[in-house]
Structure formats: structure tokens, C-alpha cells
Amino acid sequence: MMTRAHPLCSSIVRKGVVGVTGGLLILFVLGHMAGNLLIFLPPEAINGYAEFLHEAGHGTLIWVARAGLILLFAVHLGVTIALKYENKKARPIGYAAHDPQVSGWASRHMLLTGIVVFLFLIYHILHFTLGLTDSSARWRTLVEGPSRPHYVDVHSMVVYGFRDPYIASFYILCQVVLGLHLWHGGSSLFQSLGINRGPWRAFTACVGPVVAVVVVAGNCSIPLAIQAGRIPARIDLISAKAAIEAEKGPKPPMPVPGASDINKAVPGH
């Protein structure tokens, strides 16, 4: 006698979960990249953006968002692993002939690249959010904020963090891995949701590659520009301005007009 499986155990439902969570994660990646690109504007832009995020919900909303992001990623990755195991269990013996050219490298290694990206997310939080993986804490300088006494100088934090060539190279490598994951995942999520048929097929096939190129180019431009010395830290800008003012020396005092000067200025004297 067959038993009715729980709806959540259905492979169709789980593929839908993978598609929805993947789409939400892509939206987060694009939004996060847009915020990070403020580093190319004056320091007040990204510092003000960071202040807004940290002040939302009296400082609790940002941590709720971070916890939700990790949970979303864990669900996405966990359900993907479950589907992978289910497919392997249903086909314990592989195909007699397998042509790897039918599917690309990115599509065949989605689980691997997904695990790498998840580990990178953990490192990213430990690095920039908590500052636990950076041996130097000098970039965690407190500056005046509009709504609370002080907040972290995010601009200098990012610049000092990416001045280390090893850290910059590691971030760039992880962005390439993320791009490989998005190249296939950005398009396959529509297949998981069942909306890549008919006239939509050509459009959905382009989503993944386009998103991958945009994300990799945008995120990698930041450490590359910092390594090239194109983005000075806010602290350095303040120090340079102070040095210029010191070279000019103190401004001479304004002369106080004497009695003779006043008489000359008055007509008839």
C-alpha cells in the first residue's frame, strides 16, 4: 500500500524552494553590490549608507537581516544537497556514456561553488562585520555620526581591508566562483520555477550570464581600484588635508585699524 508523501518531500516543491531562495539571494547580491560601489564616491556617501543601515530599527534590523541571509542561504544549500542526494539515490549506477560537453563546468559543479560561496559569506562577516580576521584594527576608526555619537568609518575600513594584496586576491577569486555559480544558477532558477518555456526561454537563458558578469565586474572593481591606489581612505584624506594646512602655517591676524586709518576713511579728514 503506497503512503502519501508529505508535500515538502515532493521534489517539485523542493525545486521551487531552491528557485525562490536563489532568486532572493541574487537580489541581495545585486543590492549589496550597489551599496558597496558607493566607495567610488566621496567617503560621506558609503558612510552615510552604512549609518542608515545600522540605525534602521534602532540597530536591530541589520542583525535580523544578516541572520535571515544566513538562514536563506542555508535553506538554499540544504535543499540543493537533499535534491542531489535524492537524484543519486534514484540512479545509483551512472550513465554508461557521459558527454561533459552537453553541460558546462558551472552547471556540473553548482554544489561545489555554492558551498564555497557560503563559506566566503561566513568569512566576509568575520572580516568586515566583526573584524575578527584582520590583524590590524586601525581602520575601525570612530567618526561623528548624525544620529548617534560615533559610528565606524566604513570607507576607511574597506580601503584598509583591501590594501592587503592577499585579502584582495582572495576576494577576487571568491567573486569569480560566485560568478560561475550565478552563470548557471541565474538561469536555472526559472527552470526550477517552471517559467522558462516558450518565448521566455531565450530571455531566461541570458539572465544568468548577464547577472554573473555584472556582479563579478562590479565587486572586483573595488579591490582592484584600491590596489591600484585609486581610492584613498577617508583617514588618509583627513591627514593629507591637515598636512597641507600645517605647511601653509597659521593665518596672519587681521590688522586692527588705528585712529589715523579711521580718520582717513571718514570724508573731510
pLDDT tens digit string along 126-179? 888 887 877 554 555 555 555 554 567 889 889 988 999 999 999 999 999 999
Q: Residues 67, 59: contact at Cβ < 8 Å?
A: no
pLDDT of 172 reads 97
Residue 262 corresponds to which cell in the numbers above? 579711521
Q: Of residues 7 and 36, which shows the higher confidence score?
A: 36
Q: What percent of the chain has pLDDT over 70?
A: 76
Q: Of residues 258 and 232, which shows the higher confidence score?
A: 232
Task: Answer yes or no: is pLDDT of 262 > 70.
Answer: no
Give Rg (Cα) of the chain: 28
pLDDT of 146 reads 52
pLDDT of 2 reads 41
Bridge partners (DSSP) of residue 151 are: 143
Confidence of residue 108 (pLDDT cuts 50, 70, 90): confident
Residue 76 corresponds to which cell in the numbers above? 538554499
pLDDT of 101 reads 47
Task: Report yes or no on whether pTM surpasses 0.85.
Answer: no
pLDDT of 117 reads 94
Residue 28 corresponds to which cell in the numbers above? 541581495
Confidence of residue 182 (pLDDT cuts 50, 70, 90): very high
Q: Residues 33, 219: contact at Cβ < 8 Å?
A: yes
Task: Answer yes or no: is pLDDT of 199 > 70.
Answer: yes
Quote the mean pLDDT of the chain: 81
- Count of beta carbons in the 10 Å neighbourhood of residue 182: 29
Task: Answer yes or no: is pLDDT of 77 > 80.
Answer: yes
Confidence of residue 85 (pLDDT cuts 50, 70, 90): confident
Q: DSSP for 139-195?
A: T--EEE-SSSSEEE-HHHHHHHHHTSHHHHHHHHHHHHHHHHHHHHHHHHHHHHTT-
pLDDT of 60 reads 85
Task: Answer yes or no: is pLDDT of 197 > 60.
Answer: yes
Of the listed ranges 58-67, 100-109, 128-137, 254-263, the least confidently predicted one is 254-263
